[in-house]
A and B are shown apart, each in its own frame.
Chain A
């Protein structure tokens, strides 16, 4: 066990060193940034360190090594997403405090098979109702926690919901295939894993908390309802979902108006915010230092080499999966163009494979929705890894078939 831990700690360092050697040293800012990014990504995937700590150390190293200024090294905290997570963590705490989550959880069927089906269906439905990934994760986590669903089912629900982002997969046919795929992957992993695990959450909680304080529950219900409504109508009012999330959380802790009593200690998990902020900071660092160009070039070269032995669509998909480990941003048009050119795939097919690769995720840092869900509920990294592996396997088949 000790040997495994040592290996998991040493591997990210070895990979970072290898990147530096391959790049020829630390002369350029982009080289340093890429080495630190390699350490961060591999540590997030395999290291026993807490992911928030990995993020903090990585951002600090980006600044301390001179790869970027501190404003870029911690640039993710200057974006609204970590603060939306902060707000939603407060709102989730308020919902749990009031018992609203338990009331919502009662709506889910108790039988294991039906619960799995309903959760996946809810995730699917939310994908068309709520455009924000973090919004979908909030609803699923709330219901799953209230119902005391097992951890794998929470993971599967959140995974399915976040894999079906409207702007990720442009063609409708591809979206339908992808929806079937991720639902299947989610269901397979959830069913297989839940057999091995006891139900998470307190199943007796609902009987004691529901209705215990109706005024508080009403306040929470109104706030949560208004928040979901605001998310669902984003295309009308154009208020960013992150703004809605932060505002909802801040209203939740207002005296008189909010469902959290003023005397109640309020401490949303700070490490969730830090992980989300540092993961976003990585994108800023890669862009500011010019390291993203190195990654695109490496990805194009890899895709070109893979396209010689594999179908071009699969080469694009696999390359995209690895690319998105470093750059968890689906809107990477430059990279897509470079890889499409390298594989010789037509733009529409390349876009389908690329969109699928962006939604094939393995670790918490790859989506703020995962970070949120892991903070409020028992979403475990190993479940995400399995979901990612299942999606990768099925995704390869779908890409091949397309």
Chain B
């Protein structure tokens, strides 16, 4: 995968586009000034009758400011919050670090280990190449193939960035085979659909960091288990409609250039060059099959999805029978895990200190008149989440900071908390600006599409997604008990 920019380098370049002499970006300086300022003001501002709640709000505000400005990386910002909760006496150590002991961060570790296994074994690449080679005899069919593969890879590779990197290597070859320019309609269409799909499908499955975090927050709020199969079935129609919708939108906005022919045998040759299945691929396929089977049947055996995820993740790293080794394990993105845990802590401390009620009042008071039934609730929640995502570029940061507030709002209004949480999670998939997610930044960095392309496709697909929700929430979800 030479030539593929690493996520860290791309995000780093993006976040600190304007750097000062010592390497500090303008946003970082703004964050370093704004975060303590916000903290100091809210620490003394009487936002709540209880001093503990007031201080919890001040610390949460500092964390959110650091998340928004990206003054420090998200894991560091999360740990700063955890430390402050503990050091200021807002929460005892056991509560301040409570986010690290639940299922969610360890499920995420399992998912990351599974993703590393799929990537290292080459299975993800083989599947991507096989499906696109089988489907692609024209631009239209190839496009559909890429969307389907993106969707399928979500089961295997939880990281959206990794999915983009895998598919981009194939798409680069496809664009060359067509003999067109990078920014041709074919190039734009393929890359934008790969990029955008990678950020949508992992909200319809408990697979990526965002949905795993959302599941944990919903479980925290309701005390009820959220099943993998339930989430999958709830979004299955949406998954299918999104595949068709994305296909139609790209064909409409980016029709292939005239007089372009496709040498489809190139993909077939690449696939053939992979040779027979390696032992690592077979093992990986076996473990993934086991995981997916157990996840899909959790309504029968009631094994926690986290338990399955961690077990298969540990199998992946087991000596002799695994696929990855301790060296690979060291290179994983643990920051995402620590950040997720810190975000869970923030929600718990806010809820326990009653600080959450203040935030709920502030953030949701305007929504109340508009959420009168399932139809309007779905629309209002989805679009509010969509707009909120403008201000908090990172999906997991967006969910961690807003989800506890939204869930409490739902509880207070007597709404179904699970449904509300699922809609809010889904809303984090809608994006129209490149900065809104590391996945879009990575896709954009290949240079095949421009910001305005993402704006067009993003808007069209966001509208389609909200229309799909309008069908799902009031008509389909009640049928499956949500």
Interface residues of A, Cβ cutoff 8 Å to B: 48-50, 52-53, 56-57, 60, 63-64, 70-71, 74-75, 77-80, 83, 86, 239, 243, 246-247, 250, 253-257, 261-267, 269-271, 273, 277
Whether A254 and B83, one on each chain, are in contact in the complex, defined by CB atoms closer than 8 angstroms, is no
- Give the distance in Å from the alpha carbon of A50 to the alpha carbon of B16 in the complex: 37
Whether A60 and B32, one on each chain, are in contact in the complex, defined by CB atoms closer than 8 angstroms, is no
- Give the distance in Å from the alpha carbon of A263 to the alpha carbon of B317 in the complex: 31
Whether B72 and A256, one on each chain, are in contact in the complex, defined by CB atoms closer than 8 angstroms, is no
Question: B38 → chain A, closest Cβ, in Å?
Answer: 16
Whether A64 and B22, one on each chain, are in contact in the complex, defined by CB atoms closer than 8 angstroms, is no
Whether B101 and A71, one on each chain, are in contact in the complex, defined by CB atoms closer than 8 angstroms, is yes
A256-B29, A262-B25 known; A57 and B314 CB under 8 Å?
yes
| Contact flags B1-40 to A (C-beta < 8 A → 1, else 0) | 0000000100010001001001111001101100000000
Whether B330 and A63, one on each chain, are in contact in the complex, defined by CB atoms closer than 8 angstroms, is no
**SS class, residues of chain B in contact with chain A:** helix
Whether A60 and B314, one on each chain, are in contact in the complex, defined by CB atoms closer than 8 angstroms, is yes
* B314 surroundings in chain A (CB, below 8 A): 53, 56-57, 60
Whether B83 and A262, one on each chain, are in contact in the complex, defined by CB atoms closer than 8 angstroms, is no
Given contacts A255-B31, A255-B71, A263-B19, 13 further A-B contacts (CB under 8 A): A53-B317, A53-B329, A74-B106, A77-B101, A80-B93, A80-B97, A83-B79, A239-B87, A247-B87, A253-B76, A256-B32, A262-B28, A277-B100
User: From residue 193 to 224 of chain B, which have CB atoms closer than 8 A to chain A?
Assistant: none
Question: B57 → chain A, closest Cβ, in Å?
Answer: 21
Interface: B326 (CB within 8 A): yes
Interface: B46 (CB within 8 A): no
- Give the distance in Å from the alpha carbon of A257 to the alpha carbon of B28 in the complex: 12
30 CB < 8 A contacts A-B: A53-B314, A60-B311, A70-B106, A74-B101, A75-B101, A77-B101, A78-B98, A78-B100, A79-B93, A80-B86, A83-B79, A83-B82, A86-B79, A239-B87, A243-B83, A243-B87, A247-B87, A250-B83, A253-B76, A255-B24, A255-B72, A256-B24, A262-B23, A263-B12, A266-B73, A266-B76, A270-B334, A271-B326, A273-B334, A277-B100
Question: B98 → chain A, closest Cβ, in Å?
Answer: 6
A-B residue pair count with CB separations less than 8 angstroms: 104
* B106 surroundings in chain A (CB, below 8 A): 60, 70, 74
Contact of B28 among A52, A71, A255, A265 (CB under 8 A): A255
**SS class, residues of chain A in contact with chain B:** helix
Contact of B103 among A56, A70, A80, A271 (CB under 8 A): A70
Whether A64 and B32, one on each chain, are in contact in the complex, defined by CB atoms closer than 8 angstroms, is no
Question: B380 → chain A, closest Cβ, in Å?
Answer: 35
Whether B326 and A60, one on each chain, are in contact in the complex, defined by CB atoms closer than 8 angstroms, is no
Interface centre among B16, B29, B100, B103 (most CB of A within 10 A): B100
Residue of B nearest to A75 (CB): B101
Question: B227 → chain A, closest Cβ, in Å?
Answer: 17
Whether B101 and A247, one on each chain, are in contact in the complex, defined by CB atoms closer than 8 angstroms, is no
- Give the distance in Å from the alpha carbon of A263 to the alpha carbon of B76 in the complex: 14
* A247 surroundings in chain B (CB, below 8 A): 83, 87
Question: A288 → chain B, closest Cβ, in Å?
Answer: 12
Contact of A63 among B72, B82, B307 (CB under 8 A): B307
- Give the distance in Å from the alpha carbon of A71 to the alpha carbon of B425 in the complex: 25
User: From residue 368 to 389 of chain B, which have CB atoms closer than 8 A to chain A?
Assistant: none
- Give the distance in Å from the alpha carbon of A250 to the alpha carbon of B22 in the complex: 19
- Give the distance in Å from the alpha carbon of A247 to the alpha carbon of B96 in the complex: 14
Whether B330 and A263, one on each chain, are in contact in the complex, defined by CB atoms closer than 8 angstroms, is no
Whether A78 and B73, one on each chain, are in contact in the complex, defined by CB atoms closer than 8 angstroms, is no
- Give the distance in Å from the alpha carbon of A262 to the alpha carbon of B19 in the complex: 10
* A273 surroundings in chain B (CB, below 8 A): 334
Contact of A270 among B83, B307, B332 (CB under 8 A): B332
- Give the distance in Å from the alpha carbon of A360 to the alpha carbon of B282 in the complex: 46
Interface centre among B79, B80, B326, B330 (most CB of A within 10 A): B79
* B332 surroundings in chain A (CB, below 8 A): 270
| Contact flags B70-114 to A (C-beta < 8 A → 1, else 0) | 011100100110110011000001100110111100100000000
A53-B326, A262-B24, A271-B326 known; A78 and B101 CB under 8 Å?
yes
Interface centre among A70, A80, A262 (most CB of B within 10 A): A262
Interface: B179 (CB within 8 A): no
A74-B100, A243-B86, A270-B330 known; A256 and B22 CB under 8 Å?
yes
- Give the distance in Å from the alpha carbon of A262 to the alpha carbon of B102 in the complex: 31
User: From residue 266 to 289 of chain B, which have CB atoms closer than 8 A to chain A?
Assistant: none
Residue of B nearest to A270 (CB): B334
* A254 surroundings in chain B (CB, below 8 A): 32, 72
Interface: B319 (CB within 8 A): yes
Question: A107 → chain B, closest Cβ, in Å?
Answer: 29
- Give the distance in Å from the alpha carbon of A168 to the alpha carbon of B76 in the complex: 34
Question: B13 → chain A, closest Cβ, in Å?
Answer: 10
User: From residue 241 to 299 of chain B, which have CB atoms closer than 8 A to chain A?
Assistant: none
- Give the distance in Å from the alpha carbon of A50 to the alpha carbon of B328 in the complex: 13
* B82 surroundings in chain A (CB, below 8 A): 83
* B341 surroundings in chain A (CB, below 8 A): 77
- Give the distance in Å from the alpha carbon of A301 to the alpha carbon of B417 in the complex: 54
Contact of B330 among A74, A255, A261, A271 (CB under 8 A): A271
* A263 surroundings in chain B (CB, below 8 A): 12, 16, 19, 23
Interface: B60 (CB within 8 A): no
A74-B101, A254-B32, A270-B334 known; A49 and B319 CB under 8 Å?
yes
Whether B24 and A79, one on each chain, are in contact in the complex, defined by CB atoms closer than 8 angstroms, is no
* A255 surroundings in chain B (CB, below 8 A): 24-25, 28-29, 31-32, 71-72
Whether B12 and A78, one on each chain, are in contact in the complex, defined by CB atoms closer than 8 angstroms, is no
* A74 surroundings in chain B (CB, below 8 A): 100-101, 106
Interface centre among B106, B311, B341 (most CB of A within 10 A): B106
- Give the distance in Å from the alpha carbon of A243 to the alpha carbon of B12 in the complex: 29
| Contact flags B318-360 to A (C-beta < 8 A → 1, else 0) | 0100000010011010100000010000000000000000000
Interface: B53 (CB within 8 A): no
A78-B98, A262-B28 known; A50 and B326 CB under 8 Å?
yes
Whether B16 and A262, one on each chain, are in contact in the complex, defined by CB atoms closer than 8 angstroms, is yes
* A71 surroundings in chain B (CB, below 8 A): 101-102
- Give the distance in Å from the alpha carbon of A270 to the alpha carbon of B334 in the complex: 7
Interface: B310 (CB within 8 A): yes
Contact of B79 among A78, A250, A265, A277 (CB under 8 A): A250
Whether B29 and A60, one on each chain, are in contact in the complex, defined by CB atoms closer than 8 angstroms, is no
Residue of B nearest to A242 (CB): B93
Interface centre among B12, B31, B87 (most CB of A within 10 A): B87
The 3 closest A-B pairs by CB, nearest first: A77-B100, A78-B101, A270-B334
* B8 surroundings in chain A (CB, below 8 A): 265
- Give the distance in Å from the alpha carbon of A157 to the alpha carbon of B87 in the complex: 31
* B334 surroundings in chain A (CB, below 8 A): 267, 270, 273
- Give the distance in Å from the alpha carbon of A277 to the alpha carbon of B334 in the complex: 14
Question: B169 → chain A, closest Cβ, in Å?
Answer: 24
Question: A207 → chain B, closest Cβ, in Å?
Answer: 25
- Give the distance in Å from the alpha carbon of A263 to the alpha carbon of B24 in the complex: 8
Whether A269 and B330, one on each chain, are in contact in the complex, defined by CB atoms closer than 8 angstroms, is yes
- Give the distance in Å from the alpha carbon of A273 to the alpha carbon of B100 in the complex: 12
Residue of A nearest to B303 (CB): A64
Question: A54 → chain B, closest Cβ, in Å?
Answer: 11
Contact of B97 among A52, A83, A265 (CB under 8 A): A83
Contact of A261 among B23, B31, B79, B103 (CB under 8 A): B23
A74-B101, A262-B25 known; A60 and B310 CB under 8 Å?
yes
